[in-house]
Amino acid sequence: MSNLKAPSSPSPATNDFRSDTFTTPTPTMLAAMVNASFGDDVYQEDRITTEFQREIARLTGMEDALFMLSGTMGNQIGVRVHLNQPPHSVLCDYRAHVYAEEGSGLAVLSQAMVTPVHPANGIYLTLDDVKKWTVLGDDVHTAPTKVISLEVTLGGVITPMEEIQKISEFAHAHGVKVHCDGARLWNASAASGHSVSEYCQYFDTVSMCVSKGLSAPVGGVLASTYSNIKRARWLRKQQGGGIRQAGVLTAPALVALQEIWPTMKDTHEKTKKLEKDLAALGVVPQIPVDTNFYFIDAKRSHLDMGILLEQCGKFNVKLMDERISLHHQISDEAIESLKAAIAAAVQITKALSSGYVSKATSGGYYITSKMNEYS
């Protein structure tokens, strides 16, 4: 114990706006790892893992739950449990992580075709979108839709509960299963006031993450019926996800629910405040800011993203693209620095487009005399 390194404080994520996945384990989580149970979870003998899974089953209102090594594993197995024999297809938003960001897992692991749908409202899928693109029947030319996967939140946006309900009722009426990529369902619940189980009642499988915004170092969890979870356990083993002393991973996950989840409301309020402050600079978002993400609309904000990323470096904040991601470890000081970087980038973009300022080869900017250019 005496050789244990103290957790770095403050977290290295205090100025990291790239993603809420950069959150780091808290001292309580590290202490929980040291004091974890060390049973073998392949034999389902680990006390804390069982406790964590029971807690997720309780929160989701599902029969059972299974710890997953990542959100990707939870999604891929969550969809896979519903699929038997191709031809079959999965319908989802064209931006959905399960389709666009999981290394073609649906094609490789489930032999599934995907119907990526652009929501007509540009924000979230509605029943109309789903009705238009769901493939039903037994036409031999088609790959019938067997699963509809909804991501909640997607881009930080919460699909309204009534829409989820309508999509779910339509799907079930046609024998189609509904999966939720609920990596950030915690955020949806904290922001909307609807409980996690209110959302989950409309889904057959729900995958949630504990390492996005919640600070646990590893993992996610899949919730569903007893029989689906039994099959998921088998598929997880097949994918190399049978975890022996899983308690060291599920102990911090339990702490994440108790210690970090309640702080999400605060993070959302800070994101809303940021939206307001950026509006004063003429900066606007691409999509509604419902939770912890703000996507800069660079075009409508007349902002050059290259210049903004450069200014972020100067103001010591980390950003990688248009997405500003807030989380509980972001400091108030970092938010002020980010706003200063954005304000500077707005000014430089404006000055460059006016033609009175040019970029120097050294990387800085210099005043040019437009008058001289034309004299």
Ligand X SMILES: Cc1ncc(COP(=O)(O)O)c(C=O)c1O
Footprint of ligand X (CB under 6 A): 21, 70-72, 75, 97, 151, 181, 183, 209, 212, 220
Closest to ligand X by CB, 98 vs 307, is 98
Please, which residues have CB within 8 angstroms of residue 256's CB and are 6 or more apart in sequence? 29, 210, 214, 215, 216
- We find the least distance from the C-beta atom of residue 357 to ligand X, in angstroms, to be 38
* Shortest distance, position 375 Cβ to ligand X, whole Å: 55
**In angstroms, what is the minimal distance from the CB of 76 to ligand X?**
9
Q: Shortest Cβ distance from residue 183 to ligand X (Å)? A: 4
Nearest distance from C-beta of residue 68 to ligand X, angstroms = 8
Q: Of the two residues 18 and 174, which places its CB atom closer to ligand X in the complex?
A: 18
CA distance 130 to 304: 36
> What 3-state class would DSSP assign to 256?
helix
Minimum distance from residue 222 beta carbon to ligand X (Å): 12
Residue among 281 and 287 whose Cβ is closer to ligand X = 287
Nearest residue to ligand X by CB is 71
Q: Which is nearer to ligand X, 39 or 71 (CB)?
A: 71
| Nearest CA-CA partner of 236 in 77, 53, 31 | 77
Report which residue type is found at 165: Q
SS3 sequence, 177-216? EEEEEECCHHHHHHHHCCCHHHHHCCCCEEEEECCCCCCC
Q: Which residue has 């006390």 as its token pair? A: 47
**Which C-beta is closer to ligand X: that of 64 or that of 151?**
151
CA–CA dist 249, 218 (Å, integer)? 6
Calpha distance 345→351 (Å, rounded): 10
